[in-house]
Amino acid sequence: MSKTETLYGLHAVTTVLKSAPERVLSLMALQGRQDQRVQKVLQLAAQNGISVEQVARKKLDALAGDGNHQGVIAHCRPGQAHDENFLYHLLDHLDEAPFLLVLDGVTDPHNLGACLRSADAAGVHAVIAPKDNAAGLNPTVRKVACGAAESVPFIPVTNLARTLTQLQERGLWLRGAAGEAKATVYQSDLTGPLVLVMGAEGSGLRRLTRETCDELIKIPMAGSVSSLNVSVATGVCLFEAVRQRNS
């Protein structure tokens, strides 16, 4: 495991300064930038005794690669590594019905970041994904997630089908999104202990994942486009679950 993680973008850096400032080893800010959003980051750093290095844009651009750093980059100690033991401990100590999101092989970091952001907004307790052939947490994911990667537990698992079966054995219901489903997301019961399972870009749910689900659901499509981007579809399904669970 890497000894440090790089976070860039105002939301991601602000979130770690608020939630876990002890992780921040160093902070760089764009030289001469004085707007209110950057000043807020600098104030949080000062409150936590974190020194800030003022650097030229060229250095920030080089560190962020293709990413939009928005004038701030933080080097941090790695956050807590979550595994299946963490997941089951979390479930054992919830005082409300579990609400989990599974991403079955989402490979685009931008999609993963957007899914994490929606999961955070919807109140999801954890996001689960396979360790292999799927995107993991990286600076791009953390930037797109706007801080959600620091607030929602992300749990990579070795064998997704086995994890799904163990969740079923704990009384959680698996609802998998698939275009061939007969029931729509609006017809399905998304209350109670729920695992919402979303497939990969293009290929959708893998066969074993699909067969493990208790029910397949779909988003009704009125236009000529046959499917939605996975992050958009995830948002639609999550917030239909939120509507049902709060009604």
Average pLDDT over residues 73-88: 88
Region 63-90 average pLDDT: 87
From the CB of residue 124, how many other CB atoms can be counted at a distance below 10 Å? 24
Give the H/E segment covering residue 6: strand 5-8
Same domain, residue pair 95 and 171 = yes
Provide the b/e sequence for 232-244 (b: ≥16 CB within 10 Å).
Answer: ebbbebbebbbeb
- Give residue 152's pLDDT: 94
C-alpha span between 192 and 214 (Å, rounded): 14
Of 32, 59, 76, which marks where a domain is finished? 76
What's the confidence (pLDDT) of residue 49?
93
SS3 for 20-85 is CHHHEEEEEEECCCCCHHHHHHHHHHHHCCCCEEEECHHHHHHHHCCCCCCCEEEEECCCCCCCHH
Please report which confidence band the pLDDT of residue 237 belongs to, taking 50, 70 and 90 as the band edges.
very high
CA–CA distance, 38 with 13 (Å, rounded to integer)? 10
Q: What is the pLDDT of residues 22-35, one digit of tens each?
A: 989 999 999 988 78
Q: Does residue 194 surpass a pLDDT of 80? A: yes
Strands ordered across the beta sheet of 99-104: 154-157, 126-130, 99-104, 194-199, 173-177, 215-218, 183-184
> Is a pLDDT exceeding 60 seen at residue 130?
yes
**Which of 76, 97, 122 is the last residue in one of the domains?**
76
**Distance (Å, rounded) from C-alpha 37 to C-alpha 94?**
35
Same domain, 89 and 72: no
Question: Based on the domain organization, do 110 and 59 belong to the same domain?
Answer: no
Same domain membership, residue 125 and residue 219:
yes
Residue 222's pLDDT is 85
Residues 111 and 201 in one domain: yes
Q: Compute the distance between CA of residue 160 and CA of residue 104 in angstroms, rounded to an integer.
A: 8
Band the pLDDT of 1: cuts 50, 70, 90: very low
Same domain as 121, residue 17: no
Binding residues for S-adenosyl-L-methionine: 199, 219, 228
Residues 24 and 95 in one domain: no
Computed over every residue of the chain, the mean pLDDT equals 92
In this model, does residue 82 exceed pLDDT 80? yes
pLDDT of 83 higher than 70: yes
Pairing between β-strand 72-76 and β-strand 154-157 as defined by DSSP bridges = unpaired
pLDDT at 2 over 70: no
Do 193 and 161 reside in the same domain of the chain?
A: yes
Q: What is the mean pLDDT of residues 109-123?
A: 96
Annotated binding site: 199, 219, 228
Separation of alpha carbons 50 and 133, rounded Å: 37
Q: What is the pLDDT of residues 37-56, one digit of tens each?
A: 889 999 999 999 998 999 99
Q: For the chain, how many structural domains are there in total?
A: 2
CA-to-CA distance for 234 and 196, rounded, in angstroms?
A: 9
- Kindly report the CATH number assigned to the domain that includes residue 140: 3.40.1280.10
- Rounding to the nearest 10 degrees, give the CA dihedral for residues 159, 163, 164, 170: 170
Q: Which domain holds residue 200?
A: 84-246
Inform me whether the pLDDT recorded for 81 exceeds 80: no
φ/ψ (deg, to 5) at 176:
-105, 135
Lowest-confidence region among 65-69, 206-210, 218-222 = 65-69
pLDDT greater at residue 199 or residue 203: 199
User: Using CA atoms, how far apart are residues 6 and 137, in angstroms rounded to an integer?
Assistant: 11
